[in-house]
């Protein structure tokens, strides 16, 4: 039986962390950071389940992980 778990944490740029890098690590996707001008990608042997929930009338950017 699967046990659901969710956790949240703050990502502080002042401590040298990047929200784009964290999103790339958690999603397993290659993401580009406009601010730093570089790509982030963290290879994984098992890909995590990843999705973004949006309402039907939401704009296109709301489904784009890089723009969020």
Render 3-68 in DSSP notation, one character per residue: ----------GGGT--HHHHHHHHH---EEETTTTEEE----SSPPP------TT--GGGG-TTT-
Q: Percentage of residues in the chain with pLDDT exceeding 90? A: 15
Residue ranges per structural domain of the chain: 17-45+56-68
pLDDT at residue 8 greater than cutoff 80 = no
pLDDT tens column, 44-64: 777 777 788 899 999 999 988
Mean pLDDT of the chain: 83
Cα–Cα distance measured from residue 45 to residue 20, given in angstroms and rounded to the nearest whole number: 21
pLDDT of residue 11: 78
pTM here is 0.61
């Amino acid at each position: 039986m699967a046990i659901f778990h969710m956790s949240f944490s703050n990502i502080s740029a002042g401590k040298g962390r990047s929200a784009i890098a964290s999103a790339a690590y958690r999603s397993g996707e290659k993401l580009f950071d406009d601010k730093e001008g570089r790509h982030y990608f963290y290879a994984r042997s098992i890909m995590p389940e990843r999705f973004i929930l949006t309402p039907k009338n939401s704009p296109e950017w709301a489904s784009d992980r890089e723009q969020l």
